C-alpha cells in the first residue's frame, strides 16, 4: 500500500557537503508534502513542507524541490553538519489527513 517511495535508504555525507534525499508519489490528489526529521528515542519533527503550487521552498539550509509533472520531490540539506545525523522521512497527504510516509533515510554526516 506504499504510495510514497523514498531513496536512498541510507546516506553518508562529509561535513559541509550536500545531502539529497528523493521521494516519488503515486496519488495525484496529494496536496501536502512534508519532511520529518527523527532522532533516536524521539518522535518525528516537522522540518519543512511544501504544497504543489510552488516548485521550491527554502528554510535555512533545508530546501524542498518539487516536480509536479514527475510526481517527485526532494530534500536538499546544504552545508550538512554532524548534528543533522538523523532519519528523514518524506510524506504526502490530502489536506494533511491520512499521511503516507516514505520508508525513511538514515543520514550520517561525518565530521
Partner 1 sequence: KAGVTQTPRYLIKTRGQQVTLSCSPISGHRSVSWYQQTPGQGLQFLFEYFSETQRNKGNFPGRFSGRQFSNSRSEMNVSTLELGDSALYLCASRPGSLSYNEQFFGPGTRLTVL
49 belongs to the binding site for partner 1 (CB under 8 A): yes
Backbone Cα Rg of the chain: 13
List 88, 104, 107, 109, residue binding partner 1 (CB under 8 A) = 104
Cell 543533522 belongs to 84
- Least Å distance between CB 44 and partner 1? 5
Could you tell me which stretch among 12-20, 60-68, 76-84, 88-96 binds partner 1 (CB under 8 A)? 88-96
Q: How many residues are present in the chain?
A: 111
Locus of grid cell 533516536 = 40
The whole-angstrom separation of Cα 75 and Cα 57 is 10
Binding of partner 1 by 29 (CB under 8 A): no
Select from 101, 99, 34 the least CA-distant residue to 64: 34
Q: Where do contacts with partner 1 occur on this chain (CB under 8 A)?
A: 1-2, 32, 36, 41-46, 49, 51, 89, 91, 95-104
Amino acid at each position: 500500500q506504499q504510495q510514497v517511495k523514498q531513496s536512498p535508504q541510507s546516506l553518508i555525507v562529509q561535513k559541509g557537503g550536500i545531502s539529497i534525499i528523493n521521494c516519488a508519489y503515486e496519488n495525484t490528489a496529494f496536496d501536502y508534502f512534508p519532511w520529518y526529521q527523527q532522532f533516536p528515542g524521539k518522535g518525528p519533527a516537522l522540518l519543512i513542507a511544501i504544497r504543489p503550487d510552488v516548485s521550491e521552498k527554502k528554510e535555512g539550509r533545508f530546501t524542498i524541490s518539487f516536480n509536479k509533472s514527475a510526481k517527485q520531490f526532494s530534500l536538499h540539506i546544504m552545508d550538512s553538519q554532524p548534528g543533522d545525523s538523523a532519519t528523514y522521512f518524506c510524506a504526502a497527504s490530502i489536506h494533511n489527513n491520512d499521511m503516507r510516509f516514505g520508508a525513511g533515510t538514515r543520514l550520517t554526516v561525518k565530521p
